[in-house]
Amino acid sequence: MKLEQLINVVDKIDSFKRFGRVKRVVGLMIESQGPESSIGDVCIIHIGKGRTRRIHAEVVGFKNENVILMPYTDVQDISPGSLVETTSRPLEVKIGQGLIGKAIDSLGQPLDGANLPKGLTPVLTEQTPPNPLKRPPISEPIEVGVRMIDSLLTVGNGQRVGIFAGSGVGKSTLLGMIARNTNADLNVIALIGERGREVREFIERDLGPEGLKRSIVVVATSDQPALMRIKGAYTATAIAEYFRDKGLNVMLMMDSVTRVAMAQREVGLAIGEPPTTKGYTPSVFGVLPKLLERTGTNEFGSITAFYTVLVDGDDMNEPIADTVRGILDGHFVLDRALANKGQYPAINVLKSVSRVMNHIADASHIKSAEKVREMLSTYINAEDLINIGAYKRGSSMEIDEAIRLYPSIISFLKQETNEKISILESIGQLKGLARKGE
């Protein structure tokens, strides 16, 4: 029986190697005559004298019976006639326990130049989202260790949340706090399109040794080709999926999904897609749901995901922000005005929402959160009158109460970056604050 199985395996092996030739290169687009391949297949371009160097590229389209490729690295030294060999397989990365505590690139290779540990499993980077009917409902909260989130914007185990912010408002610091303080089994952190300087700063300062020892960091810096930035998002998601299928509760953090969309726009424009809203191609709005829907719960474990979204000019209704907000299960808005006042985390509670909070929090918790939100909203609405001295005490009991408790509310919302607090403590402090207003 074993011999028959071996014969069947051998019969299925494709023993032919298929080759093509580079015809032209335009920007980052490589057009070759052949080889026979499919969309998503990885090809190897042999360059240099004696074909000693190899560049990996991916098939992204076809034009007039020619193959269009995008490289994972630079395109220097490619010349007309360079040999193109297809692997007949899409991109795979090796995943396993040995990656925990390491920083890797989009192709799964360690950034420090070390060899990959042994015992890893090859996994395709592009997977289909779980069957909707096999997704267990989100039924319990997950602790993120940020008082404002755990109490007023409670996140469920397997929820997907967008963090919407302009540049320099503190989203990387917030992600570092969550990575250090969460009670998830494993963090997978994707740094997509980051400045090279910020990568080491994030790992050493924001994440720290405590966070790194239970994290896997996937890095695709802004100087890398568009395809590497896209694959960074896919690789990080595939790693999270691998550990979810092992039964773990995984925390995936991607900074930022906007740069993934920008990279996909570059690829789309290069292969001839028409630009639509703000220059984004139709494929961008097809890729985003497929990427974001891969996270969440399945029958084995869960992926709780935080995706940062860079809002252009703090415009919350720009195309990518609007699309992502419609896909995810909640959104946290980082407000530049709050950051300028020195309130960190600079989350605007009144503009933020967790769509599953009402299903995972008890009645007293929800009531307390609503009371604090109401008092904060009352103060914000009357703030201009209060500041210019036009409001007279006694005119409104609600405004008087909001003025009295506003300093306590702001003190509750602030948290030092190295301050760790459990979800039970956060909810207890919230209920105590709400009782002061009764």
Per-residue pLDDT for 1 more than 60? Answer: no
Pairing relationship of beta strands 215-221 and 186-194 according to DSSP bridges: parallel
The answer to whether 155 touches 304, Cβ cutoff 8 Å, is: yes
State how far the Cα of 160 lies from the Cα of 356, in Å rounded to an integer.
10
Report d(CA 311, CA 276) in Å as an integer. Answer: 18
What local confidence, expressed as pLDDT, does residue 313 receive?
Answer: 63
Q: Top-level CATH class of 93-360?
A: alpha beta
Cα-based distances in Å from 49 to 25, 31, 80, 83: 19, 21, 14, 12
Q: Do domains 17-89 and 364-437 have the same CATH topology?
A: no
pLDDT in tens, 61-95: 888 888 999 888 877 778 888 889 898 888 899 99
Q: What is the pTM of this model?
A: 0.90
* pLDDT attached to residue 202: 85
Residues contacting residue 344 through CB under 8 Å, at least 6 positions apart: 170, 173, 414, 415, 417
User: What is the token pair recorded at 287?
Assistant: 């890729």
pLDDT at 298 over 80: yes
Per domain, the residue ranges of the chain are: 17-89, 93-360, 364-437
| Mean pLDDT on 255-259 | 89
Does position 369 have pLDDT exceeding 60, yes or no?
A: yes
Answer yes or no: is pLDDT of 49 > 80.
Answer: no
- Is the CB of residue 147 less than 8 Å from the CB of residue 415? yes
**Residue range 318-332: mean pLDDT, rounded:** 90
- Identify the architecture of domain 17-89 in CATH: Beta Barrel (2.40)
Q: What's the mean per-residue pLDDT of the chain?
A: 88
Tell whether omega for the bond before 110 is within 30 degrees of 0, i.e. cis.
no
Q: Which residues of 64-112 form beta strands (DSSP E)?
A: 66-71, 83-90, 92-95, 103-104
Instruction: Determine the CATH number of domain 364-437.
Output: 1.20.1270.330
Rounded to an integer, the average pLDDT of 19-42 is: 87
6 pLDDT band (50/70/90 cuts)? confident
Q: For CA atoms 211, 212, 213, 216, give the dihedral sign.
A: positive
Contact 174, 237 (CB under 8 A): no
pLDDT of the residue at 437:
67
**Are 242 and 92 in contact, with CB atoms under 8 Å apart?**
no
Burial class (CB in 10 A: 0-12, 13-18, 19+), 168: exposed
* Cβ neighbours of 259 (radius 10 Å): 25
